[in-house]
A and B are shown apart, each in its own frame.
Chain A
């Protein structure tokens, strides 16, 4: 959803 950062992306 809106603008939450994904901690899995490098």
Chain B
């Protein structure tokens, strides 16, 4: 565990907490893509199945459980408890166009052709693009609430910090995993446009609004 990895995990944790608190406090999930949240639940489920097969550390186990619970908790709030506030008219990204290529790619490019490895690889590929329905929703409505912007910033920063972790590990431990690295680069690049708007607008106290 190095500092980039730890900060990455904390940023990820912060993101899911911001999202849950936003929905809970405002009693509304307006502006949040339920489709992205479904994809994230699929990502954590596919990746953390190894909870039942291998024990790594207390930290590892606790974080996995937190991400799973937070993810399904978010789905519960969006699709059951605060269902009436879900903005489904603007949440129209076709997720099968993301899921199917990820399934095919995971079957073709993986470390080992076994069920758990393919599911792990699928989760890595799917995570890299899971935010697209959310970014599509923001572009469709042309704006995002500040709290939604903070959520997106923390979530985007998390994988960016993992990239620094992998650079560090390449030099310090001679370790690298191309599947995770390439997917992590794709994932971080997808946020670049948003990062630019966040830094130039939201941090200056303005609402995130896209140019017309």
Contacts and interface: CB of A to CB of B under 8 A. Distances in A.
| A, B: real partners | yes
Interface SS of chain B: helix, strand, loop or mixed?
Answer: helix
Nearest to B117: A5
Contact of A2 (B64, B117, B162, B176): B176
A1 B9 CA distance: 23
Query: Contact residue range for chain B?
Result: 20 to 34
A3 B176 CA distance: 6
Given A7-B54, A9-B5, A1 B174 contact: yes
Given A4-B177, A5-B179, A10 B67 contact: yes
Contacts, number: 35
Contact of B60 (A1, A3, A4, A10): A10
Contacts of B64: 10
Central interface residue in A4, A7, A9, by most chain B CB within 10 Å:
A9
Contacts of B117: 5
Contact of A7 (B1, B5, B50, B174): B50
Contact of B57 (A4, A6, A8): A8
A2 B1 CA distance: 19
B63 A5 contact: no
Contacts of B162: 9
Q: Report, nearest first, the 9 A-B pairs whose CB atoms are least far apart.
A: A8-B56, A5-B177, A3-B178, A10-B63, A5-B111, A3-B177, A7-B56, A8-B60, A10-B9
Interface of B: 1, 5, 9, 12, 50, 54, 56-57, 60, 63-64, 67, 111, 117, 120, 162, 174-180
Given A1-B174, A4-B111, A8-B1, 9 more contacts: A3-B111, A4-B175, A5-B111, A5-B180, A8-B57, A8-B60, A9-B5, A10-B60, A10-B64
